[in-house]
A and B are shown apart, each in its own frame.
Chain A
Amino acid sequence: MATSKKLITKQEWEKKLADVKVRKEEMNKLVMNFLVTEGYVEAAEKFRLESGTEHIDLATITDRMAVKKAVQSGNVVDAIEKVNDLNPEILDTNPQLFFHLQQQRLIELIRDGKVEEALEFAQEELAPRGEENQSFLEELERTVALLAFEDVTNCPVRDLLDISQRLKTASEVNAAILTSQSHEKDPKLPSLLKMLIWAQNQLDEKATYPRINDLSTAALEDPAV
C-alpha cells in the first residue's frame, strides 16, 4: 500500500458525513421515482398521500404494468393490443421490439403444443421480417428449432421456454413505453448505489477511510489500516 495515502479516522469521517446536506424532499423524490418506475402503483399513490411527494400521472403506470403483466403471463396478443391502445407509435417505430413480441408469441404457441398454428404464424408473420434483418432471421431459426425436439426441456434452445425469456421481453416493452412517455426507463436508486461503490473505489486510491461495504445495512466499517 502506498504510504502517501491519507488516513481518515472514523471520528473525522463522521464529522464530514455530518456536514453533508441532505434534503428530505429529495430523498422522498428518489423513493417516489423508484416506486413509479418499477410500477408500484398502489404504493406510489399511498406514498404521495403519506409524504406529500408529487408524482407523474399514475394512470400511465397502471397501463404500463398491465402490458408488462400480460407478457409475463404469456398473453402476448393481449399485450400487443394494449401497447397499441397506449400509443401505436411504440411498435411502429420499434421493429426490434415488435419482432421480439412476435417471437414471444411463437414461443408461447410452441409451449402450448399448438404446432400447426405455430408453424403458420412463423411462416406468415415472422419469416417476412427475418428477410429484412439478418439477426431477426437467426432468432427465428433458433425459435423454430424448438419444434424439432420432442423433449424441449433438454434441447439446446430450451432457454427460450424459460421464464427469464418472458421477463426479458416484458422489460423490453416496459422500457419502450417509459421512453415513449419521456420517462426514464431505469429508476435512479440503483444507479445511485452503483455511484456509491464507484465513489468509494475512487477515494480508495487516495485515502483510507471508513467504507460502507454492505448496502443492506449501510453500516460504516472501521478504516482498515
Chain B
Amino acid sequence: MSEATSRSQSPATDLIGSYFLHLWRQNSKTLGLKPEELEEEEELPTALDTVKSSGGFSFVGPDKLSVSYPNVNLHGHDVGVVQANRPAPSKRFLYYFEIRVKNAGAKGQVAIGFTTSAFTLKRQPGWEANSCGYHGDDGLLYHGHGTGEAFGPTYTTGDTVGGGINYATQEFFFTKNGVLVGSVYKDFKGSVFPTVSVHSQSEEYVSSRNIFLSLLLSLPCLLCVHATPPLLWMAVNFGKEEFVFDLEAYEAEERAKQQMKIDNISISQDASHGIVRSYLQHYGYEETLNLFDIAGQSTIPPISLVPENGSKEEDVMYALNQRNILRQLIRYGEIDDTFSKLHEWYPQIVQDDTSTVCILLHCQKFIELVRVGKLEEAILYGRNDFAKFKGRSELDDIVKDCAALLAYEQPLKSSFGYLLQESQRELVADAVNAMILSTNPNVKDATFCTHSDLERLIRQISACVLEKRSLNGDHGEAFLLSKILKSYKKV
C-alpha cells in the first residue's frame, strides 16, 4: 500500500489528470481552443490577382473577376495570364472554379487551368512544367509541355468552362457547360493557383476593335480610363455565383466511389460488437453491458462472447461495479456521496486533496450548487476549496470558468453554460473511472486507463489520415468523427 498512498503523484496519475484537463479545455468555449472544424478552414481564392499579372497583356476588370486581352499587334508568345489571389485550398475533398467566355474574339484563345506560384505569367497554363490547362481553341489538354493531348471539345463565346482538383484521387478535372469533360493525374507537388489566360493574334481583330471602340467612346464609362476596351474577355466565378456544373452531385459521386473502396474491405463480423462491448466495460456502463450481452446471446446466430484475450477481459472488467456506482452518483450530481465512496473504496485516489481528480470533483460540487441555485453555499464552498488549488496555477483558467458562473442570472445561457451540461458530469465521471482503472496492479500503461479501444482506433485513423496528408503536400481532407456522425448515406 505504501507506494499507492505516497504523497507524490505517480506519472500515471499525472497523465490521467492532464488528459481530462485537456478534455475540459476542449469543451470550453472560453478557454481558447478552436474547434477542429475551424482549424481546417482555409482562405479561398476570391478574386484575380492584379499585382502579379502579365503586365500589359491582360486587363483585369475593376471587379477583379473579369479578364480581357487589350493589346493588338502583339507577338504570338505574349499571352495574358492571370492567377487567382490565393492558391486553391487543399485541406478538403475537392476545389472548383468556373469561367464564362463572354467574347472569344475572332481567333481568340482562352484557357483555364492551374499553375504554381513559380509560373511564368506569359505562357499558356499547361505549356510549362508544373502546370495544367484546358485550351479553348483546340480542346486539348496541356500538361507540362507545349504539346497537347486529345481531351475534350473546344470552347468559345458563350461557353462556361470549369476547372477543379479532386484531392482524394489527386486529379485535375474540367467541365464544359455543366458537363464533366475529363480528368488528368496531378503529377506535381505543391499548392496551385486557379489560372486563366487570354490571347489573340488576329488582324481582323483590329477592325472589329475599332467598331467596338467607337461604340464605347460614346459612353462615359469608367472602363475607358484604361484606354483599350475589352474585346476578348471572360468572367471568372470563384463560387460567389452558383456554378453551372453541379458540383455537389459530382462530389457525392466521387465520395461514393471512395466509399465503395472502403466498403469492399472485409472485417470480422463480430469486430464491431467486440469494440462496443469493450467500450461499455471501459467506461463502466455496466447495466448497458449486461443488457447488451443478454441480447447478443439471443440473436440468430448468437454472438460468441468468448474473449480472445483472457487477461485483457479481466482488466477491462476490473472494479466494474464500483466504477458504475460512482459514475451514476456523479451523473446525478451527488458529489459528497462520490467522495465518501471513494474514501471507502479507493482512499489512495482521494488522499491528496489537490490531485487533479479531486480538483475536478470539487469544481463539480461547486457547479452542482450553482445548478440548484444555492449560490451562497457555492460561494462558501468555493472560498474554502478553491484556495487549496493555489499551488497549481495551471488550473487557474478552469477555476475561473467555474467561478464565472456566479456572475450570471442565467448561467446556463452564458458562455460558461457548458459547465452545466451533462457532458461536464460525464467528464468528471470518466476521470474518476480512469483513476480507478489505474489502481489495477496489472495495468502498466496509463493510456489504457484513459483510452477505450474505440478511442484508440479513432486516434489511429485520424493520425493516419493527417500523416498521409502531410506527406502529400497538405492535400486532402482530415478525418473528423463529427462529420461521419452527421453523414447520412442515401440508400
Contacts and interface: CB of A to CB of B under 8 A. Distances in A.
A200 B267 contact: no
A27 B454 contact: yes
A185 B481 CA distance: 19
Interface string B452-491: 1111111111111111100110000001011011001101
Given A17-B463, A163-B300, A212-B456, A197 B287 contact: no
A47 interface: yes
Given A34-B272, A190-B267, A216-B309, A200 B460 contact: yes
Contacts of A168: none
A194 B264 CA distance: 8
A193 B266 CA distance: 10
Given A192-B461, A203-B464, A218 B453 contact: yes
Interface in B18-53: 23, 26, 36
B459 A215 contact: no
B466 to A, nearest CB: 7
A160 to B, nearest CB: 17
Contacts of B460: 17, 196, 199-200, 212, 218, 220
Contacts of B481: 22-23, 26-27, 30
Interface string B430-450: 100000000000000000000
Interface stretch (B211-219, B288-296, B383-391, B399-407): B288-296
Given A16-B467, A188-B484, A203-B467, A34 B276 contact: yes
B274 interface: yes
B464 A200 contact: yes
A206 B471 contact: yes
A90 interface: no
B276 A190 contact: no
B281 to A, nearest CB: 12
Interface stretch (A35-43, A112-120, A124-132): A35-43
A42 B465 CA distance: 36
Contact residues of A: prevailing secondary structure: helix
A199 B285 contact: no
Contacts of B292: 35, 40, 43
A189 B455 contact: no
B328 to A, nearest CB: 7
A50 B288 contact: yes
A165 interface: no
A147 to B, nearest CB: 26
Contact residues of B: prevailing secondary structure: helix
A46 B288 contact: yes
Interface residues of B, number: 67
A198 B453 contact: no
B92 interface: no
B453 to A, nearest CB: 4
A52 B271 contact: no
Nearest to A69: B300
A72 B301 CA distance: 10
Contact of B472 (A194, A197, A206): A206
Interface in A35-62: 35, 40-43, 46-47, 49-52
A46 B271 CA distance: 22
A187 to B, nearest CB: 7
Contacts of B309: 216-217
Interface residues of A, number: 64
A196 B463 contact: no
B204 interface: no
A220 B459 CA distance: 11
Nearest to B484: A188
A95 to B, nearest CB: 16
A198 B262 contact: yes
Contacts of A52: 331, 422-423, 425-426
Contacts of B288: 43, 46-47, 50-51
B263 interface: yes
Contact of B454 (A31, A185, A197, A203): A31
A77 to B, nearest CB: 19
B279 interface: yes
B261 A198 contact: yes
Q: Which of A16, A43, A179 has the most CB of B within 10 A?
A: A43
A50 B430 CA distance: 12
Contact of A196 (B294, B295, B457, B471): B457
Given A6-B471, A193-B267, A200-B464, A42 B457 contact: no
Contact of A42 (B295, B453, B459): B295
A93 to B, nearest CB: 13
B265 interface: yes
B490 to A, nearest CB: 9
A196 to B, nearest CB: 5
B427 interface: yes
Given A43-B288, A50-B327, A179-B491, A197 B265 contact: yes
A216 B308 contact: yes
Given A16-B467, A217-B312, A212 B485 contact: no
Interface in A181-225: 182, 184-200, 202-203, 206-207, 209, 212, 215-218, 220
26 contacts: A8-B467, A16-B467, A17-B463, A20-B458, A20-B466, A24-B426, A25-B426, A29-B485, A33-B485, A40-B292, A42-B295, A46-B285, A47-B280, A50-B288, A175-B491, A182-B488, A184-B488, A188-B485, A189-B276, A190-B267, A192-B461, A193-B457, A197-B265, A206-B471, A217-B309, A218-B453
Given A22-B455, A206-B471, 10 more contacts: A24-B23, A27-B454, A40-B295, A50-B287, A50-B288, A50-B327, A163-B301, A185-B491, A199-B464, A203-B464
Please provide the 3 A-B residue pairs with the shortest distance between their CB atoms, ordered closest to farther: A199-B464, A218-B453, A52-B422
Interface of B: 23, 26, 36, 259, 261-263, 265, 267-268, 271-272, 274-276, 279-280, 283, 285, 287-288, 291-292, 294-295, 300-301, 308-309, 312, 324, 327-328, 331, 422-423, 425-427, 430, 452-468, 471-472, 479, 481-482, 484-485, 488-489, 491
